[in-house]
């Protein structure tokens, strides 16, 4: 039994490590560049208002930066937290399924093959930490509902809440909120808890100390957090994509809506099975975490944009719900073939997206820079582009990969040369966007498309490299 679980966990980590061997993308580069030279740990809090969103990972970067590590070493903490999440996930499902080993295996398989989870497992943004501390909170809270005064479980709960909120602010609305509401329901409906004073004593013991911590965190950090760098979008469309990514990277809005309907249908089937088997408390937890709290947060906050990754906690709870329900279904031999078929379909759909993520990656920014240098007649080149912040961030970070005798400067449109820059970059967050083979800059200088570097998944972008026609050879386009 243990060997099988270890094999599944090992394959899951192999997949996640393999998918983390590509270039860092903008969000990771931005975080590393912003904090790696700050004094540790106080200046990480005071020196950059944005990093209240994922403060725990930001604290790890300055010590790592002093080692002058290869870029991929910055992703190592994320992978380690992902590895630690696997036994926690097994324990959570074991607790909530009533000790069904089939449910544990199914949870590890679904989580291990999930493209959504693979995408963010190794990124330098705190999402693997977020899932770890949600699972830790669940384990501790489940134990406290049975033994409310156990000191070790109280300490684990406090640790999960405090570090979870430091790992990602998303922990509060998408992790702590559904768990807290579920706990309140459990206490109110528990016949062993005789009056409201007993409920209040438990809540104060469990949540008073971390509640003070959260208030201080809001006062010192969260109230200063800013959001920038992303374009506004329709949150309803974003919500459909965020749910739909459970079955791999959506290729269209129709695909996303169909996948979202499948997610909600799967949750409904799981809840009906749990309800009929007397597991109503688990069913309520999954409903709160997958649907109620995410929708309530979106409706109350009305964010200008809703990245798919914000619903990663909801996806985790959805996997747990399916695994627990699958464990119940497995007890009936007639339903085993259906469980296997559905799990196989899920793995195949996610498997294609995982394959594309591994083979294409989040973008080949180092390759693009080397190509521009190799194809330029001069060792010093001037580059411009359609988005100064995004393009310049990647050039500044990766310029160290270029040969010592070369130099790359980025030119803002405010100081555009009369004869144009040497290269012009167009970036697109979506793949398959039609871009012309020839463009003109603001002064009418012609540029020809030389190469297209693509990406796959929820992070990164495509880069289109246009060379000034004065330097480009005849019939220069060699776009793959």
Task: Assign 9 to helix, strand or coil.
Answer: helix
Q: What is the pLDDT of residue 86?
A: 97
Mean pLDDT (the chain, rounded)? 90
**Alpha-carbon gap, residue 43 to 385, rounded angstroms:** 33
Q: What is the band of 46 on the pLDDT scale with cuts at 50, 70, 90?
A: low
Residue matched to tokens 């693509």: 454
pLDDT in tens, 450-476: 999 999 999 999 999 999 999 888 655
The answer to whether the Cα torsion of 463, 118, 81, 217 is positive or negative is positive
**Alpha-carbon gap, residue 44 to 216, rounded angstroms:** 16
Q: What letter does residue 363 receive in the DSSP assignment?
A: -
**Alpha-carbon gap, residue 188 to 363, rounded angstroms:** 51
Q: What is the pLDDT of residue 53?
A: 73
The DSSP result for 148-191, as a single string, is: TT-HHHHHHHHHHHHHHHHH-TTHIIIIIHHHHHHHHHHHHH-T
**Alpha-carbon gap, residue 471 to 53, rounded angstroms:** 44
Least confident window among 5-14, 161-170, 218-227, 428-437: 218-227
Task: Name the nearest CA neighbour of 149 among 196, 202, 185.
Answer: 202
Domain extent listing, the chain: 2-360, 365-468
Q: What is the pLDDT of residue 479?
A: 53
CB 444 within 8 A of CB 469: no
What would the mean pLDDT of 25-34 be, rounded to a whole number?
A: 91
The DSSP result for 444-467, as a single string, is: --EEEEEEEE---SSS--EEEEEE
Give the strand order in the sheet containing 438-440: 407-410, 380-385, 423-428, 462-468, 446-453, 438-440
Whether residue 378 is predicted with pLDDT greater than 60 in this model: the reply is: yes
Q: What is the pLDDT of residue 386?
A: 92
- Residue 385, CA distances (Å) to 84, 165, 234, 446, 456 in order: 41, 37, 26, 14, 21
Q: Which of the two residues, 159 and 400, has the higher pLDDT score?
A: 159
pLDDT in tens, 272-328: 999 999 899 999 999 999 999 999 998 888 777 788 899 999 999 999 999 999 999
Q: Which of the two residues, 341 and 303, has the higher pLDDT score?
A: 341
pTM value?
Answer: 0.94
Report which secondary-structure segment, H or E, holds 440. Answer: strand 438-440
């Amino acid at each position: 039994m243990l060997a099988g679980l270890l094999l599944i966990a090992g394959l899951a980590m192999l997949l996640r490590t393999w998918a983390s061997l590509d270039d860092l993308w903008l969000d990771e580069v931005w975080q590393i560049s912003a904090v790696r030279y700050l004094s540790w740990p106080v200046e990480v809090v005071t020196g950059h208002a944005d990093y209240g969103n994922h403060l725990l990972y930001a604290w790890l970067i300055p010590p790592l930066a002093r080692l002058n590590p290869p870029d991929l070493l910055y992703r190592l903490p994320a992978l380690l937290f992902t590895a630690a999440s696997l036994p926690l996930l097994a324990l959570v499902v074991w607790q909530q399924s009533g000790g069904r080993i089939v449910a544990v295996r199914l949870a590890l398989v679904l989580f291990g093959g999930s493209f959504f989870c693979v995408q963010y497992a190794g990124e330098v943004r705190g999402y693997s930490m977020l899932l770890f501390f949600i699972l830790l909170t669940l384990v501790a809270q489940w134990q406290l509902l049975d033994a409310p005064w156990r000191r070790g479980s109280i300490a684990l709960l406090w640790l999960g809440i405090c570090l979870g909120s430091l790992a990602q602010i998303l922990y509060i609305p998408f992790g702590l909120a559904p768990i807290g509401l579920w706990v309140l329901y459990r206490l109110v409906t528990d016949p062993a808890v005789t009056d409201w004073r007993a409920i209040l004593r438990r809540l104060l013991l469990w949540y008073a100390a971390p509640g003070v911590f959260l208030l201080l965190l809001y006062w010192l950090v969260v109230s200063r957090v800013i959001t920038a760098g992303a374009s506004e979008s329709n949150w309803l469309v974003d919500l459909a994509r965020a749910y739909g990514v459970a079955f791999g990277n959506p290729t269209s809005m129709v695909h996303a809506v169909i996948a979202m309907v499948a997610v909600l249908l799967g949750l409904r089937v799981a809840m009906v099975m749990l309800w009929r088997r007397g597991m109503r408390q688990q069913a309520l937890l999954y409903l709160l975490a997958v649907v109620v709290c995410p929708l309530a947060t979106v409706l109350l906050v009305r964010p200008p944009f809703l990245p798919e990754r914000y619903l990663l906690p909801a996806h985790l709870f959805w996997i747990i719900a399916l695994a627990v329900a699958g464990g119940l279904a497995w007890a009936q031999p007639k339903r085993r073939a259906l469980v296997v078929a559905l799990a196989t379909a899920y793995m195949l759909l996610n498997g294609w997206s995982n394959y594309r993520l591994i083979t294409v990656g989040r973008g080949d920014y180092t390759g693009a820079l080397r190509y521009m240098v190799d194809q330029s007649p001069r060792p010093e080149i001037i580059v411009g582009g359609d988005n100064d912040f995004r393009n310049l961030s990647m050039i500044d970070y990766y310029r160290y990969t270029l040969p010592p005798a070369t130099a790359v400067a980025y030119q803002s449109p405010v100081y555009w040369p009369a004869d144009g820059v040497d290269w012009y970059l167009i970036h697109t967050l979506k793949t398959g966007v039609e871009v012309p083979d020839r463009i003109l800059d603001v002064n009418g200088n012609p540029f020809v498309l030389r190469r297209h570097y693509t990406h796959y998944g929820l992070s990164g972008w495509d880069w289109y490299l246009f060379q000034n026609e004065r330097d480009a050879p005849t019939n220069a386009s060699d776009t793959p």
